[in-house]
Every structure is written in structure tokens, then in C-alpha cells.
């Protein structure tokens, strides 16, 4: 039922989007009592880390060797991040304000009235439990990784280092053994043979393009993103579309992801065009953004 409520049929105009989002929120509120935060997601989250074997990767024009690591198969969700904040509120009150989600980011980044409900509901409402957390800083993402590392290392002899992925690791997780491909489904096409779009990104209809000299100009304000044949409302659930060779979801599009490089996020978002959601794509951002989330990786360290 939740999927049906949060993934409405394809819409064509902004006014229809306003009505759809309002309808979604009203319907999901009626069923709010049926949902609750599951206890201690970190106890089971290690099973969702997928093994990425050592291998070659192309970064820009350089071929590098990446050592084996494990990566979370989905972007960190609102539900998972709320658990983190619940503990940090009492354990780390000194930095808690730096970890909070900037829920007003939706209205601060985009001057679109139909996004106002996202400010109030996206992070906290159960309808969005399994959607990627956004509007958090790179600092907050790193602190989440430290917190998760403590959880996963409890009662372990061989310790883990949980952190944000390096850029080469991000590309390796998506390209796999097909060095040089730009998308995590193993080729450079953005649609499959059935015509389904393979990730959540902003499409530009031909009717909105105009050639002026040697330049292509866009006419009018327009964006749309698709979840197979249904339209994703901005972000999509973290386990949507088609996983990579290593069973990892949404390395292209949906949300760009903070990596272990200052002020940088990889992979592009729901608000980016096709060229900007490649594995090689990098977004520069000093603050939090509705377009950026994250996912941890971990490596093992030698026993002392």
C-alpha cells in the first residue's frame, strides 16, 4: 500500500504535481498509526553491505587499482538517520546541531511552492522512511559513519573501518568489471530495450530544446524523472531501479552521494541531467542540499 501511495501515476504538469503530493500526504497520514520506527536498524545493516572485490577502475584518464571493500547496497534512509540522531541527541549534544537535517533545504534551494510539503514531511513522515536522507552536510555523513562503525564493531575481533567511499571506490562499485562504462547497469545507455528509464534523473524533452548557432538552448522551465513507467516524486526509494553487478542500487541519479573528498559528491541526483549522473560525475557543494545523500563503505583492519 505504501508504494502505491508514494509513487503516483505519471503526471505532466506542475499543478498536477501539487495535487498529487497533497493527496499522498493526506492518504499516508491516515495510515500513519500503522507504521513505526523499527528498533536498532544497525543490528541488521551489516548484512546489507555488498562485497566489492579488488580491481581496476578508470578515474578521468587514469587507470587505478582499488582494494576490496564493502559498500551499503542502498543510500542511507530517513529511518536509519533518525535512529542516529536519536542517539546523538543524548550522546553528543556538543555537535548535535551540526548533525541535524536542514528540513528547510527544500524551500531554500528551490523557489517552487509545490515543494513546501516536503519541508514538513519528507524527513519525519513514515511514508518516506525508505527514501534517502538529504539536506545533511558532509560532516554529518562522516559522523554517521563513525557512529555506525562503533555499532558494527561491538564484540568483533576483526575490526571494521566505516567511512565515506573514495571516488575511485564509488566508480568501481558501479562500473564493476566493465572498466570505463558510465552507468552502474553496465553500459552507457539510459534506457533498456523495453524503453524503461534506468535511473532517477531529469529528462529534457526534445520539444524544449532549441539550436542557436552552435549552442543548444532550453526553452521554458521543465523537469521530469521516472521510475520505470511511473513518475518518481523527486527522490525515489533507495532500492529502486536496477542494481549494479554487485547488487548496489542508485549509484547513478536519485541523490548524489558524499564521498571522501572535501565538498564533493558523486553520481548526480534526481535534479541533474543525464550527463551529470554518470559514475564519473562530481558535484561541488559546501553545505547540505536536497540533492545529496550518502552511503558508507567499510574495510577490515588487521587484528591487534
Q: Where are the alpha helices (DSSP H) in 93-205?
A: 96-99, 105-109, 116-121, 138-153, 167-175
* pTM for the full predicted model: 0.81
Residues 176-205 have a mean pLDDT of 89
Band of residue 279 on the pLDDT scale cut at 50, 70, 90: very high
CB of 174 closer than 8 Å to CB of 248? yes
Band of residue 218 on the pLDDT scale cut at 50, 70, 90: low
Band of residue 304 on the pLDDT scale cut at 50, 70, 90: low
Residue 241: name the closest of 189, 199, 181 by CA: 199
Band of residue 19 on the pLDDT scale cut at 50, 70, 90: very low
The whole-number pLDDT of residue 210 equals 58
The whole-number pLDDT of residue 154 equals 86
pLDDT over 50 at 222, yes or no? no
Band of residue 215 on the pLDDT scale cut at 50, 70, 90: low
- Give the chain's mean pLDDT: 82
Residue 104 phi, psi (nearest 5): -80, -5
CB of 258 closer than 8 Å to CB of 138? yes
List CB contacts of 71: < 8 A, sequence separation 6 or more.
49, 50, 52, 165, 169, 173, 246, 248, 295, 296, 297
Rg (the chain; Cα; Å): 19
The whole-number pLDDT of residue 46 equals 83
The whole-number pLDDT of residue 220 equals 58
Distance CA 262, CA 246 (A): 27
**What would the grid cell of residue 64 be?**
587505478
The whole-number pLDDT of residue 112 equals 76
CB of 277 closer than 8 Å to CB of 257? no
Amino acid at each position: 500500500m505504501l508504494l502505491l501511495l508514494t509513487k503516483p501515476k505519471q503526471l505532466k504538469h506542475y499543478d498536477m504535481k501539487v495535487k498529487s503530493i497533497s493527496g499522498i500526504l493526506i492518504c499516508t497520514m491516515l495510515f500513519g498509526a500503522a507504521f513505526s520506527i523499527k528498533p536498532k536498524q544497525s543490528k541488521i545493516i551489516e548484512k546489507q553491505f555488498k562485497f566489492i572485490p579488488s580491481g581496476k577502475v578508470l578515474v578521468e584518464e587514469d587507470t587505478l587499482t582499488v582494494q576490496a571493500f564493502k559498500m551499503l547496497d542502498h543510500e542511507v534512509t530517513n529511518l536509519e538517520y533518525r535512529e542516529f540522531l536519536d542517539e546523538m541527541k543524548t550522546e553528543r549534544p556538543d555537535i548535535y546541531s551540526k548533525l541535524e537535517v536542514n528540513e528547510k533545504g527544500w524551500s531554500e534551494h528551490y523557489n517552487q511552492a509545490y515543494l513546501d510539503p516536503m519541508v514538513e514531511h519528507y524527513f519525519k513522515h513514515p511514508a518516506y522512511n525508505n527514501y534517502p536522507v538529504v539536506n545533511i552536510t558532509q560532516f554529518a555523513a562522516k559522523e554517521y559513519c563513525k557512529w555506525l562503525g562503533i555499532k558494527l564493531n561491538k564484540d568483533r575481533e576483526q575490526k571494521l573501518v566505516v567511512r565515506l567511499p573514495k571516488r575511485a571506490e564509488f566508480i568501481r562499485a558501479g562500473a564493476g568489471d566493465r572498466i570505463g562504462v558510465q552507468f552502474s547497469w553496465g553500459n552507457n545507455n539510459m534506457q533498456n530495450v523495453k524503453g524503461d528509464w534506468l535511473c532517477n534523473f531529469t529528462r529534457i524533452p526534445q520539444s524544449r530544446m532549441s539550436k542557436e548557432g552552435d549552442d543548444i538552448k532550453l526553452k521554458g522551465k521543465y523537469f521530469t524523472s521516472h521510475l520505470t513507467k511511473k513518475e518518481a516524486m523527486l527522490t525515489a526509494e533507495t532500492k529502486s531501479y536496477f542494481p549494479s553487478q554487485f547488487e548496489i542500487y542508485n549509484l547513478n541519479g536519485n541523490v548524489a552521494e558524499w564521498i571522501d573528498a572535501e565538498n564533493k559528491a558523486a553520481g548526480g541526483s534526481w535534479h541533474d541531467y543525464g550527463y551529470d549522473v554518470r559514475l564519473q560525475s562530481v558535484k561541488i557543494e559546501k553545505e547540505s542540499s536536497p540533492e545529496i545523500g550518502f552511503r558508507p563503505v567499510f574495510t577490515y583492519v588487521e587484528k591487534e
